[in-house]
Amino acid sequence: MTVGSAANSESPQFVSYRVDDGVAWIMLNRPEVMNSQNYRLLNELDDLFRRAVDDVEVKCIVLGGEGKHFSAGHDLGSPEKDKHLPRDRKLLWPSHLDLPGAELQYVLEQDAYLGLCRRWQEIPKPMVAMVQGGCIAGGLMLAWVCDLIIAADNAFFQDPVVRMGIPGVEYFAHAFELPPRVARELLLLGRRMPVERAYALGMVNMIVPLEVLRDEVAQIAQELASRPPFGVMLTKQAINNVEDLRGKRQAMDAQFNMHHLAHAHNQLMTGSLIADMGAKEMAKANKG
Ligand code: ZN
C-alpha cells in the first residue's frame, strides 16, 4: 500500500490518496465543510487522477469523500475559498486573474469546472463514485464523471443553483443522467432527490447500507480491476462516444454559455455572481 498527498500541492491538503491492492482510493478530505470544492482541491484532485493513471499498478479508481457527505459542491463561503489565488491551469486557457468583466469567471470555469470534468470523464481506467450523504451541485459533477455510482442508503442528490438564477451547474449532464422530465424537476424545484429515486431512474448503480459502503465498493473495485485494462479503456471510450453522439458535448457548451450569461446578469443586478446566495443562504434554502 502506498499513501500520499497531491503532487504540487501546499498544505493543508484537501484530498487524500492511497493505493490498496491495485485500487487507488482518492478521497475528498474537507469533512468540516462537507467536502466543498475550492480550486486547490480540484487541482489536487486532478494531480491525483494523473498519479493513478500513470501508475501501472492501479487498475481502478475510487472517488469518495471523508465524513458525513460526499460533497456539498463548490465552495461558496469557507475561509479557504480561493478564487483570487493563482492556480495551476490544466488546459490552455489563460490565467483568470486580472481579467475584466465577465471574462474572468468564464475563463476560470472553462478550465476549473467544465474543462476538468470533461478531462476526468475521459480517464481510461474504471472509476467508481462512492457516495454517502449529500451530493449537491458541484458534487454531482464529480459523481457523474465516474463510471459507476455506488451510494449509501442515506445518500441524496440535489442541484439547487436555479435559486441563484443560474440554469444548473457548469457540467450540464442532468438531462443525460436523468430523463428530461426529471431533470426539469431536479433543476426547477431544486429539492433533494433520495437515493432510492436516483437508483430507480438509473442514475445510481447500487444502494448499500452506509455501514458496509466501503466494503461493497472495495469488492466492486476489485472486480473492475480484474478486467483487461485495454478492453476497459475501449469500453469507456465507446460509451463516452455514444453520449457525445447524443449531443452531450454540444448541450454542455450551449448551457455553459447560458450559465455565464446568468453569472453576468447576477453581477449587473446584484453585484454578486450568485445573486448573494452564499453558503449560508443556500444551506437554509436547501433544507427539505
Ligand atoms: Zn459558475
3-state SS class at 60 = strand
CA of 112 to the centre of ligand 1 (A): 10
Query: How many angstroms is it from 87 CA to the middle of ligand 1?
Result: 17
- Confidence check: pLDDT of 257 > 80: yes
* pLDDT (tens digit per residue) in 51-86: 999 999 999 999 999 999 999 999 988 777 777 777
CA of 169 to the centre of ligand 1 (A): 7
- Distance (angstroms) between ligand 1 centre and the Cα of 6 equals 25
Domain 2-287 has CATH 3.90.226.10: yes
**Rounded distance from Cα 133 to ligand 1 centre (Å):** 23
Q: Find the 170 Cα to ligand 1 centroid distance in Å.
A: 6
Distance from the alpha carbon of residue 96 to the mean position of ligand 1, in angstroms: 13
Phi, psi of 37 (to 5 degrees): -105, 110
Spacing, Cα 256 to ligand 1 middle (Å):
8
pTM, two decimal places? 0.93
- How far apart are the CA of 114 and the centre of ligand 1, in A? 9
Residue spans of the domains in the chain: they are 2-287
In the chain, the percentage of residues whose pLDDT exceeds 70 is: 94
Distance 152 CA to ligand 1 centre (A): 28
Please tell me the predicted confidence (pLDDT) of residue 3: 54
Cα 189 to ligand 1 centre (Å): 19
CA proximity to 80, closest of 143, 171, 13, 161: 13
State in Å: Cα 106 to ligand 1 middle. Answer: 8
Find the 224 Cα to ligand 1 centroid distance in Å. 34
pLDDT digits (tens, 9 = 90+) for 5-47: 444 445 548 999 999 999 999 999 999 999 999 999 999 999 9
CA of 260 relative to ligand 1 center, distance in Å? 7
pLDDT at 94: 86
Distance from Cα 233 to the centre of ligand 1, integer Å: 31
Cα(38) to centroid(ligand 1), Å: 13
Residue 213 Cα to ligand 1 middle (Å): 31
How far apart (Å, rounded) are the C-alpha atoms in residues 60 and 100?
42
CA 186 to centroid of ligand 1, rounded, Å? 18
Q: What is the pLDDT of residue 6?
A: 47
Torsion angle of C-alpha atoms 123, 36, 155, 202, degrees rounded to 10? -40
Beta-sheet strands, E only, within 36-126: 60-65
Distance 73 CA to ligand 1 centre (A): 11
CA–centroid distance, residue 202 to ligand 1 (Å): 27
Segment 205-254, tens digit of pLDDT? 999 999 999 999 999 999 999 999 999 999 999 999 999 999 999 999 99
Q: By the 8 A CB rule, do 23 and 60 touch?
A: yes
Give 129's contacts (C-beta < 8 A, 6+ positions apart): 63, 64, 70, 142, 143, 146, 148, 149, 150
Q: Which long-range contacts (CB under 8 A, 24 or more apart) does 13-17 make?
A: 13/44, 14/38, 14/40, 14/41, 14/44, 15/41, 15/44, 15/45, 15/48, 16/66, 17/48, 17/51, 17/52
